[in-house]
A and B are shown apart, each in its own frame.
Chain A
């Protein structure tokens, strides 16, 4: 990878990082476990690596934005996540921020 490619890749990852959190919070307004969440995001055009998504869920739960519970489904124990009440409030704020940034960028362009 050349130096400019490397710079682009770093900036792309930086740009994606915040967007992924927002997308995960948005998708978890409905309950999901890790794999179905990944599939749901992919169906809407947002591919996320397993090694990125699953730890992200843990982090968001530690921060109090998600709640989770272990439950059996299809004869297998799975951990289901959904947005907590704090998560709903912060998601609303983040969404407002994201829309404002988007509108600003559109104005600039």
Chain B
């Protein structure tokens, strides 16, 4: 009996305090009656080992007590899909806003690698804070819906006047049987786009970030070379930054409108057209000067021909790239026009 008392005492500790005495009294009566039955069947009291086996079969005190608790949800199954959807949106927008603010701060203040590292390391904390707030709000909604069902009968978008007509249009497979872009794919593109923009904004302050990619370890010999970049590269750089900003804003608007699965053909053509601007800057640069000598008076005789050769090569490359980009753009516009014409014809038939 001592073991049964200890068992009931352990169960009691995990019961709701308002009802624990009542529940324990009932449980004791039931278990004592069961014990009496067992003992009268055996014709002797249960041994310590037999009692242990019997109580083990009933279950651990915490599990037995848990069965007396009402089923509880922080966020129940009816509300959970809405919660998950809102949480993903909150994650995405908080990261986008955070990335913009961080990029602007890094670009306008004295930028350094530590500032970028701090911005990246702060991101998980921000996501946790966002998740905590969204979860808290939904837990309050769940609590209100559970305790005052008459005051909030329709939650989680489950309304009586729901209409199938409000369903989104059927998702079409892209050409070649490819699946449409997923939300995660679209968000990942956006995040990597912002990270690329941050990197791009750091380049003027840390040119090696870019030059190391182009020249590898050769970048460490640049300070001792007699060459330097001409001012046209500044205009080229800012036009590339503007192009990236435009693309990110466009994608953000698509995400906000829930249109990330729509065909991006028009977007691609517009971006290709704007992409001609930086190439055009290089192709039309005055006197075709891309690289100059740091000390023309000293080095003109020795490196003048090399500089001319580099400038001509870069100019020729820019012209070729420009021509390819124009032809590619014209081809895409032509294809889009043909497709649009075919669709119109099919619609008329």
The interface bits of chain B over 50-85 (1 if a CB of A lies within 8 angstroms of the residue's CB, else 0) are 000000001100011001100000000000000000
Is the C-beta of B30 less than 8 angstroms from some C-beta in chain A?
Answer: yes
Q: How far is B67's CA from A35's CA once the two chains are assembled, in angstroms? A: 17
Is the C-beta of B32 less than 8 angstroms from some C-beta in chain A?
Answer: yes
Is the C-beta of A77 less than 8 angstroms from some C-beta in chain B?
Answer: yes
Q: How far is B67's CA from A39's CA once the two chains are assembled, in angstroms? A: 20
With contacts A50-B58, A54-B27, A77-B25 taken as known, whether A35 is within 8 angstroms of B33 at the C-beta atoms is yes
* B26 in contact with A34 (CB, 8 Å): yes
Is the C-beta of B29 less than 8 angstroms from some C-beta in chain A?
Answer: yes
- For chain A, give the interface size range: 10 to 19
CB within 8 Å of B: which A18-42 residues: 33-36, 38-39
Is the C-beta of B284 less than 8 angstroms from some C-beta in chain A?
Answer: no
* A55 in contact with B29 (CB, 8 Å): no
Is the C-beta of A89 less than 8 angstroms from some C-beta in chain B?
Answer: no
Complex contacts, A43 vs chain B, CB 8 Å: none
B57 → A minimal CB distance (Å) = 8
* B34 in contact with A51 (CB, 8 Å): no
Residues of A at the B interface (CB closer than 8 Å) are 33-36, 38-39, 49-52, 54-55, 58, 76-79
Taking A39-B37, A51-B64 as given, write out 11 further A-B residue pairs in contact, using a Cβ cutoff of 8 Å, ordered by the A residue number.
Answer: A33-B29, A50-B58, A51-B58, A51-B63, A54-B27, A54-B30, A58-B23, A76-B29, A77-B25, A78-B29, A78-B30
Residues of B at the A interface (CB closer than 8 Å) are 23, 25-27, 29-34, 37, 58-59, 63-64, 67-68
